[in-house]
Amino acid sequence: MNLDAKIPSGPLEEKWEKHKFDMKLINPANRRKYDVIVVGSGLAGASAAATLGGLGYNVSCFCFQDSPRRAHSIAAQGGINAAKNYQGDGDSVHRLFYDTIKGGDFRAREANVHRLAEVSRNIIDQCVAQGVPFARDYGGLLDNRSFGGAQVSRTFYARGQTGQQLLLGAYSALNREISRGTVKMYSRKEMLEVVLVDGKARGIVVRDLVTGEIASHAGHAVILATGGYGNVFYLSTNAKGCNVTATWRAHKKGAGFANPCYTQVHPTCIPVSGDYQSKLTLMSESLRNDGRVWVPKKLGDTRPPDQISEEERDYYLERKYPSFGNLAPRDIASRSAKEACDAGRGVGPGGLGVYLDFADAIKRVGEDAIKKKYGNLFHMYKKITAENPYKSPMRIYPAVHYTMGGLWVDYNLMSNIPGLFVLGEANFSDHGANRLGASALMQGLADGYFVIPYTLPNYFANEKFEKVTNSDQAFKEAEGVVSEGSKKFLSIKGSRSVNSFHKELGKIMWDKCGMARTKAGLEEALVKIPKLRDEFWQNLKVLGGNESLNQSLERAGRVADFLEFGELMCQDALHREESCGGHFRTEHQTEDGEAKRDDGNFCYVGVWENKGVGKKAELHKETLQFENVKLATRSYK
């Protein structure tokens, strides 16, 4: 597997500028001759499709939802980082770069992260020009808030709905291109195969989720912007439809899967309340700006919070990390909550929760000020739990939220398959082993608005393309595979629903490959998952037919892929004998319980090559070079 990252030469600060000049361009009149397929319409997909359409390429964009506006980017709450330094508090491109590298526990590429920090500023300009209503102060200028893992206020926000506003901005840009005829939008279509011709990605096969019709689309390049795989855990903060199918099927066609074990567990989610639960709800990390996290000092203390005096409370984040306090990065805050609960000091039903207390903030600035800042989050909490967070502290517990791993890409965001580009959460590139808050939106939009519009033309200009149409043999074969797949699910006629398999897989993953992982646990999971997968193919029950809207059938395909992917994830977690960021191996920790990296042996990207179902994937390595930052132990004390 060729893992040349193609990082441009020269000083870090000049790489991207230099690369932009070195890359070849496509003449405006020739652009419409190139067909680009974009899968996914979230921040990365919609921004890429809109931008490329705007440049004059002939773009087709696909999403499985009923409208591109539904993509799960819409649910991001807190904000988007940008090194604007509007607050004059010492921010700079280099600081954002450094914070992101350090936040990712030194497991990301320097050049990619620096580029991300550079273009972060353009993103804000672009979004404001689109009419995104960011929060403003009384002078009419943009407001900022602070976020985990940073000591500057660089996060731009639109109340608690920043993701929504940014996605609707990208959606509006996409709509403009659709109306101009440069982008053709296909909704309720699920991508089920990537088609390669002469080793290049030249198209996709999709299933129409309403009619069951299977169709092929050919193009000169395929862009996957299909999000992360957090739903392998069944319970996560992801939307129910989020899945690994697009990236997994590309992986099975030869694309390397990088660092699948890096998953982010978000510290501030509403705790699980029962078996019926279908998803977990995140409460923005921004709550930690004013909320104080604590648990009772006494083990098994079941008194209501207002009866526990100050002296009997352990504000553990403030105690352990005095300089960052409640704003410690996500992985650290999550693990600390787990530690407290594992030690028997958790609160609420089942003891799986910690308090997030706003009493001090309300006393300091008043209930109205808190309501203005977090009103919608408090409202949401109340709706779900029927408790009033203005009166008693919230109960929170970590939940799977984001996945840093993804398909391997080079500096140009191209996978090891020529012509297959991967953007946003679907790739592995910028967050290392842990993502900082408000950086996902930044990366999705950076990739779509400001990276792919430069790197894709360069690919086109350097390649010769044979004429390929969707009636070619390769497409017909891929269509056959897809339609056989559907038929197979329907023909098993077993006794267990798709959901029950997904739930069981999720439990294995959470128990053995969740916040804390052990060798024994992962080995156990690697036995259990193939067994469950075998049962799935023997005992699955999917009712209805293929030629209609059949939600169970859709899910069967996604769960089948999760059942293969989960195994790879555990394999990756097992091989990485160190703790870093979102990957915590209990065998590898310091005396005070912090993650212990092994830079000597694991300072690389672990890229897996698929060898077929049930066969052990092959590991390839891209060594990470750090020329501008010093590898240090991450400290937020």
Partner 1 sequence: MDITLHVWRQKNAKSQGKMEVIEGKNISEDSSFLEMLDTVNETLQESGVEPIAFDHDCREGICGMCSLVINGEPHGPEYGTTTCQLHMRSFKNGQHIFIEPWRAKAFPILRDLIVDRGAFDRIQQAGGFVSVNVGSPQDANCIPVPKQDADKAFDAAVCIGCGACVAACKNASPMLFVAAKVSQLSLLPQGKPEREKRVLAMVDQMKAEGFGNCTNQYECEAACPKEISVEHIARMNREYFRAAALEESPKEGHGGE
By rule CB under 8 A, what string of x and - marks binding of each residue 264-293 to partner 1?
A: ---------xx-xxxx-xx-----------
Q: How far is the CB of 216 from partner 1 (least distance, A)?
A: 23
Binding partner 1 by CB under 8 A: which of 84, 154, 330, 512? 84
* Angstrom distance (rounded) from CA 540 to CA 492: 6
What number of CA atoms fall less than 13 Å from residue 493's CA on the CB side? 3
Closest CB 502 distance from partner 1, rounded Å:
11
Applying CB under 8 A, among 14, 17, 22, 66 the residue interacting with partner 1 is 66
Active site residue 330: yes
Torsion over CA: 62, 66, 69, 73 (sign)? negative
Instruction: Convert residues 183-202 into a mask of x (bound to partner 1 by CB under 8 A) and - (unbound).
Output: --x-x---------------
Say if CB 97 and CB 626 are below 8 A apart. Answer: no
Distance CA 356, CA 292 (A): 5
Per DSSP, the three-state class of 388 is coil
Minimum distance between the CB of residue 277 and partner 1, rounded to whole angstroms?
Answer: 7
Residue numbers 106-125 binding partner 1 by CB under 8 A: 122, 124-125
Instruction: Give the angle 619-622-626 at the CA atoms, nearest 5°.
Output: 145
Q: Is 552 left (phi over 0), alpha (psi -120 to 50) or beta?
A: alpha
Minimum CB distance to partner 1 smaller for 21 or for 276: 276
Which residue among the candidates 188, 330, 517, 585 is catalytic per the annotation? 330
Quick one: which of 60, 146, 165, 415 contacts partner 1 (CB under 8 A)? 165
Burial of 337 (0-12, 13-18, 19+ CB in 10 A): buried
Q: Which of 146, 162, 436 is nearest to 289 (CA)?
A: 146
Contact 236, 587 (CB under 8 A): no
Tell me which stretch binds partner 1 (CB under 8 A): 164-172, 338-346, 419-427, 513-521.
164-172
Burial status of residue 548 (CB atoms within 10 A of its CB: 0-12, 13-18, 19 or more): exposed
Of 160 and 582, nearer to partner 1 (C-beta) is 160
Give the number of C-alpha atoms closer than 13 A to the C-alpha of residue 41, restricted to the C-beta side. 31
Query: Using CB under 8 A, which of the segments 159-167, 286-294, 560-568, 571-579 binds partner 1?
Result: 159-167
Map residues 421-450 to x or -, x wherever contact with partner 1 holds by CB under 8 A: ----------------------------xx
Q: Does 456 bind partner 1 (CB under 8 A)?
A: no
Tell me which of 8, 227, 241, 393 binds partner 1, using CB under 8 A: 241
Q: Which amino acid is at 338?
A: K
- Spatial separation of the C-alpha atoms in residues 7 and 110, rounded to whole Å: 10
Q: Does 253 bind partner 1 (CB under 8 A)?
A: no
Residue 292 or 555 having the CB closest to partner 1: 555
Strand order in the sheet with 189-197: 189-197, 200-208, 214-218
Nearer to partner 1, 128 or 359 (CB): 128
Alpha carbons within 13 A on the beta-carbon side of 197: 23
User: Does residue 383 belong to the site contacting partner 1 (CB under 8 A)?
Assistant: yes
C-alpha to C-alpha distance for 12 and 114, rounded to whole angstroms: 7
Stretch 503-562 residues interacting with partner 1 (CB under 8 A): 541, 543-544, 548-549, 551-552
* 293, 333 Cβ separation under 8 angstroms: yes
CB 238 within 8 A of CB 228: yes
Q: Which is nearer to partner 1, 41 or 336 (CB)?
A: 41
Pairing of the two strands 406-407 and 80-81: unpaired
Q: Single out the residue of 7, 30, 54, 392 in contact with partner 1 (rule: CB under 8 A).
A: 54
> Which residue from 92, 175, 392, 483 is in contact with partner 1, where contact means CB under 8 A?
175
Using rule CB under 8 A, residue 204 touches partner 1: no
Residue 244 binds partner 1, judged by CB under 8 A:
no
- Show contacts with partner 1 in window 139-158 (CB under 8 A): 139-142, 158
How far apart are CB 115 and partner 1 at their closest, in Å? 16
Coil vs helix vs strand at 439? coil
Residue for token digits 């407001």?
143
For partner 1, the closer CB: 161 or 259:
161
Q: Which of 138, 466, 591, 627 binds partner 1 (CB under 8 A)?
A: 138
CB 480 within 8 A of CB 195: no
Q: Based on the shown chain and the rule CB under 8 A, indicate whether residue 25 belongs to the binding site for partner 1.
A: no
Which residue's CB is nearer to partner 1, number 353 or number 581?
353
The region of 168-176, 430-438, 508-516, 523-531 touching partner 1 under the rule CB under 8 A is 168-176
User: Which tokens belong to 103?
Assistant: 């936040």
Catalytic residue set: 330
